[in-house]
């Protein structure tokens, strides 16, 4: 339910987002030139990728290549490490946030998640 609300808050339709685990991205980098119509199951991230939300410190550090803690990573728009991208001509922005489990365990901190989502929406609105 929390994830569904996240998607809604970003005003994304079903065909405008994809979920991938860190392990999946390590084994299958995001192909920014893929044709999503040809085989959407082969690479759900597709060429429509415009922003990445990284949930959790490990995901944020790994995908960005940064070493700072999650508190510091959440304060800025990062870029996806090129090691996780194929055929990328431009940087892909990355927004770091705490693990979803963190917000479920500490509901009083959900305002931090909302701040992260507002940053993601801001990035999406400039594209």
**16, two tokens:** 């405008």
From CA 127, how far away is CA 121, in angstroms rounded? 10
Provide the pLDDT confidence category of residue 59 given band limits of 50, 70 and 90: very high
Q: Is the pLDDT of residue 4 over 90?
A: no
Q: What is the pTM of this model?
A: 0.81
In the prediction, which pLDDT does 48 show?
A: 58
Predicted confidence (pLDDT) per residue in 37-47, tens digit: 444 444 444 44
From CA 12, how far away is CA 29, in angstroms rounded? 23
């Amino acid at each position: 339910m929390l994830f569904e609300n996240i998607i809604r808050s970003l005003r994304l339709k079903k065909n405008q987002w994809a979920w991938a685990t860190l392990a999946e991205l390590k084994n299958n980098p995001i192909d920014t030139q893929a044709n999503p119509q040809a085989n959407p199951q082969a690479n759900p991230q597709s060429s429509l990728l415009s922003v990445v939300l990284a949930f959790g410190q490990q995901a944020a550090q790994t995908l960005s290549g940064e070493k700072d803690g999650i508190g510091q990573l959440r304060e800025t728009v990062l870029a996806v490490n090129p090691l996780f991208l194929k055929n990328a001509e431009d940087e892909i922005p990355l927004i770091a946030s705490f693990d979803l489990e963190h917000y479920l365990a500490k509901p009083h901190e959900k305002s931090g998640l909302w701040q992260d989502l507002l940053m993601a929406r801001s990035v999406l609105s400039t594209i």
